[in-house]
C-alpha cells in the first residue's frame, strides 16, 4: 500500500502545471512512475512523453469513459486540454461532463487513485520477474575520479542507483580499457575493489580489454529505493593508457561528474571536454577543443546533465611528451 500511495503522490504532482506538456518532463517524474514506464531508457522528453502516454492509455483502457476523460484532461493529453494550469483543465472537464468544477476535481482525484491502483497491481512481482543484473535499475548520479598521480592509473566511480523493480539484490558494472593509438597494448590486466555499498561476487573478462563484475547489494531494494556504492578500478599491467576518460551510458544516468587528477610532474599540454561524442570517433587522432584550466591541485572537473544513451562524455588530453614530439 505504501507504493500505491507513493505512485498517487507522483501522479498528482505530474498533473500540475502543463501536465505531460511540461518542459523537462523526465526530470519531473518520480522514481515509481519512471520505473513503471522504464523512462530511464528513453533518450529525451519527446520519447518519454510518448512512452508515458502509451502506458497511461493502456492502464486506463477499461476505465469508464468519464474516468478516462478525467485522466486525459488532467494530464493535458486530451485535445483542447493543453493549458498552463490544472485549474483551467478542471474547467475544461467540468464543461465536457456538464458538472461543477468541484465535482470535476473529485472525479479527477478518484480516477487518479484508481490509476495508481492499476499501476501497482501490474507491478507486483510474480514468478516471471527476471533476475537480470543488467536490468531493473538506472543511475541517478555518477561521480568519477581518475587519479594519474598514483603508481598505477586509478578510477573511483561512485554511483547512486534507483531500483525500478522490487527485490533488486544484484547489479552489474562494466569497464573497458580503450586501445591505445598504436594498437600494441594487447591483453590488459584490471582489478576492481568495492570501496563501499556492494560486494563483488563475480569478475568476468570479455575479450582482451573489457571487464564485467557482478555486485551484490547489502539488502534487496524495493522499486523506487535509492542506493549508493563505489568501486575502485586499477589498471595493473604497467602498459600505456589512452589519454582520456569517457563514460558511455548503457542505462540512463541523470547526472555525471568527472574529475581527473594529474601528476604534478607530468602535467598535460592541454585538456578538453568531450560532450555527446560518437564512441567510434574516440579512436581518431586527437583534435583538441577549447582548453580547460587545471586548478591548484592539478585537477580538472566537468559536469554533464542527462547524458544520452550510446554517446561518450568525459575528458581528453594531450600529454606533454606527445605535444613536444609533434610541435616543430
Range 7-35 burial, b when 16+ CB lie within 10 A, else e: bbebbbebbeebbbbbeebbebbbbbbbb
Cell numbers representing residue 63 in the block: 476505465
**pTM attached to this predicted model:** 0.68
Q: pLDDT category, 304, cuts 50, 70, 90? A: very high
Q: pLDDT category, 328, cuts 50, 70, 90? A: very low
Measured N-to-C along each axis, helices 101-123 and 45-59 cross at an angle, to the nearest 10 degrees, of: 90
Strand segments, DSSP code E, in 47-95 are: none
What are the DSSP calls for 245-257, one per residue?
EEE--SS-BSEEE
pLDDT value at position 130? 54
- What is the percent of the chain where pLDDT is above 70? 91
Q: What is the pLDDT of residues 42-69, one digit of tens each?
A: 778 888 889 999 889 988 988 889 999 9
CA 258 to chain centre: 15
Mean pLDDT score across all residues of the chain:
87
More reliable by pLDDT, 51 or 121: 51
Total residues found in the chain within this entry = 328
More reliable by pLDDT, 326 or 145: 145
Which of 109-123, 230-244, 299-313 shows the lowest per-residue confidence on average (mean pLDDT)? 109-123
Measured N-to-C along each axis, helices 65-74 and 101-123 cross at an angle, to the nearest 10 degrees, of: 90
* Four-residue CA torsion sign, 68, 77, 10, 92: negative
pLDDT value at position 142? 97
Give the whole-angstrom CA distance, residue 262 versus residue 268: 8
Amino acid at each position: 500500500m505504501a507504493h500505491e500511495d507513493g505512485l498517487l503522490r507522483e501522479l498528482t504532482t505530474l498533473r500540475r502545471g502543463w501536465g505531460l506538456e511540461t518542459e523537462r518532463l523526465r526530470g519531473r517524474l518520480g522514481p515509481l512512475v519512471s520505473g513503471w514506464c522504464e523512462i530511464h531508457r528513453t533518450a529525451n522528453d519527446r520519447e518519454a512523453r510518448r512512452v508515458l502516454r502509451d502506458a497511461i492509455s493502456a492502464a486506463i483502457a477499461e476505465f469508464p469513459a468519464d474516468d478516462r476523460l478525467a485522466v486525459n484532461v488532467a494530464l493535458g493529453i486530451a485535445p483542447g486540454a493543453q493549458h498552463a494550469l490544472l485549474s483551467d483543465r478542471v474547467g475544461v472537464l467540468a464543461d465536457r461532463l456538464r458538472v461543477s468544477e468541484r465535482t470535476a476535481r473529485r472525479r479527477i482525484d478518484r480516477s487518479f487513485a484508481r490509476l495508481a491502483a492499476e499501476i501497482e497491481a501490474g507491478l507486483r512481482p510474480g514468478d516471471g520477474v527476471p533476475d537480470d543484473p543488467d536490468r531493473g535499475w538506472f543511475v541517478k548520479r555518477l561521480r568519477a575520479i581518475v587519479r594519474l598521480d598514483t603508481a598505477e592509473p586509478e578510477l573511483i566511480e561512485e554511483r547512486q542507483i534507483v531500483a525500478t523493480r522490487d527485490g533488486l539484490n544484484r547489479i552489474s558494472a562494466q569497464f573497458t580499457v580503450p586501445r591505445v593509438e598504436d594498437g600494441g597494448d594487447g591483453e590488459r590486466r584490471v582489478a576492481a575493489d568495492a570501496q563501499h555499498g556492494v560486494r563483488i561476487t563475480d569478475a568476468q573478462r570479455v575479450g582482451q580489454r573489457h571487464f564485467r563484475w557482478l555486485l551484490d547489494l547489502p539488502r534487496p531494494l524495493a522499486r523506487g529505493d535509492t542506493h549508493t556504492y563505489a568501486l575502485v578500478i586499477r589498471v595493473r599491467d604497467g602498459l600505456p593508457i589512452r589519454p582520456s576518460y569517457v563514460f558511455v551510458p548503457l542505462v540512463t544516468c541523470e547526472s555525471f561528474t568527472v574529475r581527473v587528477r594529474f601528476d604534478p610532474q607530468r602535467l598535460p599540454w592541454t585538456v578538453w571536454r568531450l560532450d555527446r561524442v560518437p564512441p567510434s570517433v574516440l579512436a581518431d587522432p586527437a583534435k583538441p577543443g577549447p582548453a580547460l584550466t587545471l586548478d591548484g591541485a592539478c585537477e580538472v572537473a566537468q559536469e554533464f546533465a542527462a547524458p544520452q544513451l550510446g554517446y561518450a562524455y568525459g575528458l581528453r588530453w594531450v600529454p606533454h611528451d606527445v605535444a613536444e614530439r609533434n610541435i616543430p
